[in-house]
Structure 1
Amino acid sequence: MFGIYLKRELSRRKKAALVIALGLALGIALVITVNSVSAGMTQAQDKVLKSLYGLGTDMTVTKAQAAPTDSESGRPQFEFDAGSDSDDTQSSDRVMTQGGQALKASLVTDVAKQTGVASAVGALSLNVTKVDGSFTQGTAESSDSGSSQQGGPGGGQSTGQPRVQGGGANFDVNSYTVAGVDVTNQGLGPLATSKITTGKTFTTAQTNSKVAVVSASYAKENELTIAKTITISDTKYDIIGIATPDSSESTTDVYLPLKQAQTLADSADQVTTIYVTATDSKQIDTVKATIQKNISGTTVTTSADLADTVSGSLSTASNLATSVGKWLSIAVLIAAFLVAALLTSSAVSRRVREFGTLKALGWPSRKVTRQVVGESIVNGLIGGALGIGIGLAAAYTVTAISPTLTAELGSTASAGGGGGRMGGGGPGQQAASSTMDIALSAPVSLTTIALAAGLAIAGGLIAGAMGGWRASRMRPADALRSVQ
């Protein structure tokens, strides 16, 4: 009886049912769209952070750079032999640690022992500034170049003052970044976000070998290939691999075994960054607090901290989707629920004779209420189905269009002369940075679909509860009074 009466009433009031269903559908579709776009923003931001952070890295441990003393300017200094008569090229490399104050390598073990830490790996970030070129000596010429008189007794002398003509210096400056990699655990650290596209990566036996992996962009810029060598501070390194970053331009140009990098920088048993993974991704804040408490003087940076450094259209769109989008979807959903409830209550008011007659025939109030609630839930389910369809269509449209968003990671500084990027290559530091273009997608998860279905049922229940409450208060006498 319930099903038959329900079907008849919905068929008889198609327009009212359709209006209620469409109101709920629009609210649910907006919720799906906003949630899917927000998920796409999160994925895009994860790609950006991965390029800074390292694959699988949950946090990094560094130490703030100390202010230089009066005797230390903190700037690279170069010395050349300007008195030589030769025009031979002179070259000098200045290797400096970057990304913070150096830490003892033993701290890597201490961090790994902290509660909640799954793995910890140390890395050394360096900046190499290479200056090469030559001096050219000038020639001294008299201003009276037309006369050449000899001095001596009875002889005349030139009255012109000698001047130096020509000469000078021509030097090229090239700055690039070097990362010392723990070759025994390359799945964590600066090389983890890149894949070897040519050649091979380090082996565990090459902990102190003179070998190098260079980034694809740096190799192209300097015409480097496998089997060639790269010279840093008079030390030659055989290039064994070309690394291509997974998601962005790499901020590191050259990768060396950690011990070799420490030798170059005269920083034996020191690192600048400790990469950390947690045993539980949900306990990152707890692990961060533990490390800061037990390892004094260090700065722990998580991906959530780095997210604040990402700017550009990606950040703007993410904030828009998070703040405006979610509040707008909530407001529309509440409005849809209220409209559905008011329309259902209004429909009940127009069915006074019907419900009064049913009560006169013996229907109890709970049965009338169940009838109204059942009709509302069906309307809600229809609205939910329509809303899910509209929301999926909107999400797939965003994915198909794939609008491009720009993410800016800090500020960019370039070196003079030979080019190259100056600045840091470690997480938690933004001295070196790049601009990334990210294609936005809008993935729809099963959780979002389940949320939409739950909202549809909730909307039907709210509308049915209001309508049912009003229907339950009607008396058989109301039906008799409405008969004309």
Structure 2
Amino acid sequence: MFGIYLKRELGRRKKAALVIALGLALGIALVITVNSVSAGMTQAQDKVLKSLYGLGTDMTVTKARTAPTSGSSGGPNFKFDAKSSSSSTQSSDRVQTQGGQALKSSLVTKVADQTGVESAVGALSLNVTKVDGSFTQGKAKSSTSGSSSSSSGQGQPGGSGSSSSSGGAPQVQGGGANFNVNSYSVVGVDVAHQGLGPLSTMKVTSGKTFTSAQTSSKVAVVSKSYAKEKKYKVGSTFKISSTKFTVIGIATPDSSESDTDVFVPLKVAQTLGDAKNQVTTIYVKATDSKQITAVKKAITANISGTTVTTSADLASTVSGSLSTASSLATSVGKWLSIAVLAAAFLVAALLTSSAVSRRVREFGTLKALGWPSRNVTRQVVGESMVNGLIGGALGIALGVGAAYAVTAISPKLTAQLGSTGGGAGGPGGGGGPGQQASQNTLEIALSAPVSLTTIALAVGLAVTGGLIAGAMGGWRASRMRPADALRSVA
């Protein structure tokens, strides 16, 4: 009886039911869209952080670089040998550790032994500055016309090569220098643990990666962009400080442009940088992602002088349109969703209450025929629940459609990572996650994934909306008396 009456009454009031359902649907659709876009923002931010940290890396351990000592510039310097030939070609490589101050390799084991740490891997970031070119010595000539002399070297006044009839000082003419400066980054990786660390952000698309037996081999994996710039292929060779390397693989970054140009075995990199048994960054993976904060505290307390940077620390420094959109989705979007949803619930409740007021004769008659107040209330709540479920179904359809449209359009967002203040050498061959990444702008395609949790939330909101509307309408209906129906007939 209840079902038949419910179906008939909903059929008689299709327009009112549709208005209530649409109001709830709009609020639910907005909630789904905002939640989906927020999830997409989180995924986009994770891509930015993984492009810097590497898949599976939860934090890095580094040490801030100390200030240069008095009388030391701390910058690169080059020394060329003087030669007597009139033209000389010179070439020199300056290799130095990049980012933070070097750490002892033994600290990798100490970090790995901390409670909550699953694994730890060290890496050494180097910067290679190559200067090559030639310079030509000038010739000393007298300033007076009609007589001239030349002398190789410096051409001092009154020297043996100067004209005795000339009182003017000789001047150096000609000569000069033409040098090219090429700077690129090199990272030494632990070839036995490539799944954690800087190389984990790369995918070898040509050739192969290192094997565990190549600890001391003069082989290298180069980034795709650097290989294109230098026209390297698998099998090509190049030199770093007179050490000849063979390219065994060309790697492409997983989600962004890599800051590292060349990857070599860690032991070889330590030799190049005169940093035996040293690393600049320790990559750490926690046993449980929920314990990252506790692990950070443990490492900081037990290993003094180090800086521990987690993905949460980096997330707070992400700027650009990704940060702006994320802020809008999480703050403005959330409050807008709440406001619209509250308005939808209120409108549904008022419309239901108004509809009950117009059904005085109906409910009064039912009470006169023996219906108890709880049956009348159940009737109103049942109608409201059906309206809420219809609104929920429409809202889910609209919300999923809007999220699909965002994913299909895939708007491009830019992300920049500012300095975390750690001053540490991090992934990507230099400067650390905060310093080096601040020089790059990453472009991320936004998606809006709809999870089962979001769908469940939408269903819960639909039921809640129906209950709120039904509670108000049922309370209004339960207060009616049979006498009200008789007065409306009269």
TM-score bracket, normalised by the shorter chain, equals over 0.9
2:423 corresponds to which residue?
Answer: none
Kindly report which structure 2 residues correspond to 1:193-232, keeping only aligned pairs within 5 A, or say none.
193-232=201-240
Distance 1:143 1:83 in 2: 27
Kindly report which structure 2 residues correspond to 1:79-478, keeping only aligned pairs within 5 A, or say none.
79-82=79-82, 84-147=84-147, 157-410=165-418, 424=430, 426-430=432-436, 433-478=439-484
| CA offset digits 1:140-192 (Å, max 9, x no partner) | 1222343359x99xx97034432111111211111111111000010011100
Distance 2:212 2:84 in 1: 46
Question: Once the two structures are aligned, what percentage of the paired residues are identical?
Answer: 81
Distance 2:180 2:80 in 1: 13
Distance 1:3 1:432 in 2: 64
| SS of alignment partner, residue 191 of structure 2 | coil
How big is the shift at 1:43?
Answer: 1.3
Distance 1:410 1:85 in 2: 50
Contact 1:423 1:432 in 2 (8 A): no
| CA offset digits 1:30-79 (Å, max 9, x no partner) | 01111111111111111111111111111111111112221432211111
Contact 1:423 1:431 in 2 (8 A): no
| CA offset digits 1:290-333 (Å, max 9, x no partner) | 22222222111111111122221111111111111111111101
Equivalent position amino acid for 2:239 in 1? T
Distance 2:369 2:188 in 1: 88
1:129–1:48 distance in 2 versus 1, CA, 3 Å: same
| CA offset digits 1:211-254 (Å, max 9, x no partner) | 11111111111111222222111211111111111111110011
Distance 1:434 1:171 in 2: 28
2:20 corresponds to which residue?
Answer: 20
2:155 corresponds to which residue?
Answer: none
Equivalent position amino acid for 2:328 in 1? L
Distance 2:59 2:164 in 1: 82
| SS of alignment partner, residue 489 of structure 2 | coil
How big is the shift at 1:377?
Answer: 0.5
Contact 2:54 2:199 in 1 (8 A): yes
| SS of alignment partner, residue 198 of structure 2 | coil
Distance 2:216 2:24 in 1: 66
How many pairs align?
A: 472
Question: Superposition RMSD on alpha carbons, in Å?
Answer: 2.0
| CA offset digits 1:423-472 (Å, max 9, x no partner) | 71644543664222211111111111111111111110111111111111
Equivalent position amino acid for 2:478 in 1? S
> Normalization by structure 1: what TM-score?
0.93
1:242–1:86 distance in 2 versus 1, CA, 3 Å: farther
Distance 1:221 1:10 in 2: 71
| SS of alignment partner, residue 199 of structure 2 | coil
Distance 1:275 1:348 in 2: 66
**Which deviates the most, 387-396 or 136-145?**
136-145
Which blocks of at least 5 consecutive residues in structure 1 are unaligned? 412-421
| SS of alignment partner, residue 85 of structure 1 | coil
Contact 2:260 2:429 in 1 (8 A): no
Contact 2:259 2:436 in 1 (8 A): no
Contact 1:17 1:379 in 2 (8 A): yes
Equivalent position amino acid for 1:346 in 2? S
Which blocks of at least 5 consecutive residues in structure 2 are unaligned? 150-157, 420-427
Distance 1:292 1:368 in 2: 66
| SS of alignment partner, residue 87 of structure 2 | coil
